[in-house]
Each structure stands twice: as C-alpha cells, then as structure tokens.
Amino acid sequence: MRARIDELMAPLGLVEWLADERAMDAAAALAGSGPAFLYRFVDALALAGAADGLDVASATRLALATVEGAAALAVTSGEAPALLAERVASPGGSTRAGLDVLDHDFALRKLLAQTLAAARRRNAEMAAAAR
C-alpha cells in the first residue's frame, strides 16, 4: 500500500512518511510555509547586496543564482548542508566571517525555530477554528 501511494504521489514532489501524525503540523510549517521563508531570505540577501553597493537587479539575480546553485548541490551531493557550508568557508576567510555572524549565539537557528513555531501555532489555531 505504501509503495503504491509513493508511486502516485512522487510526480508531485518529495513523499515523506512521518513516524508520528503529530509531526504533520511541523511538516506543514516547514514544507508548506518554507518557500515563503526562503523567498524572504533571498530578498534579504539581495537587499543586503544592494546596500553593499550592487544595483538591486544585479543583486537579485546573483542571490537567486546563488540559491539555485547551492540548492542543486545540496540535493545531489549527499552531504549534510552544514558540512557543505563548512567546505565553502575557508578558515579566516570572508565566508567564515559571514557564517560567524549567522552562527553567533545560534542566531539563525533561533530565528528559524521561532519562524516555524509561529507558522505551526497559526496552523493549529486555524484548524481549531475550523472545527
């Protein structure tokens, strides 16, 4: 039965079986809302590039190409994204300096945990209101 469902759903994208039904809210927050969060990140990356001297159109194209290339490598490499980030960052280099900002006090992890928690809470509120 599971194989048949996988076969039917695979053309739509990733089929991920969850061990616990309660994880559905977390999956919805991550995969359902995640594209908007990624778009916001790409926009912020482009705006930061523009603030650093690029014109907005060039910064946007560069940010999109960066995300596209990085995502393609992450999907095909078989390596953890954290390891890929470390491979890009030379010790003492510019990428390491930027990663240090994102990693300081787990700032990026905390921000994304708060982001997903807010989406998950709102999903639960909407489901409760629909009952």
Residue 22 has pLDDT above 90, yes or no: no
Alpha-carbon distance of 98 to 91, in angstroms, equals 12
Q: Is the CA virtual torsion 76, 68, 43, 45 positive or negative?
A: positive
Domains contained in the chain, number:
1
* Amino acid type, 89: A
Residue 72: which domain range? 23-130
Task: Give the tens place of pLDDT for each residue, 58-116.
Answer: 999 999 999 999 999 999 999 999 999 999 999 999 999 999 999 999 999 999 999 99
pTM for this entry:
0.85
Within a domain: residue 2?
no
Share of the chain above pLDDT 90, in %: 75
**Which domain CATH number covers 95?**
1.10.3730.10
Q: How many residues are listed for the chain in this entry?
A: 131
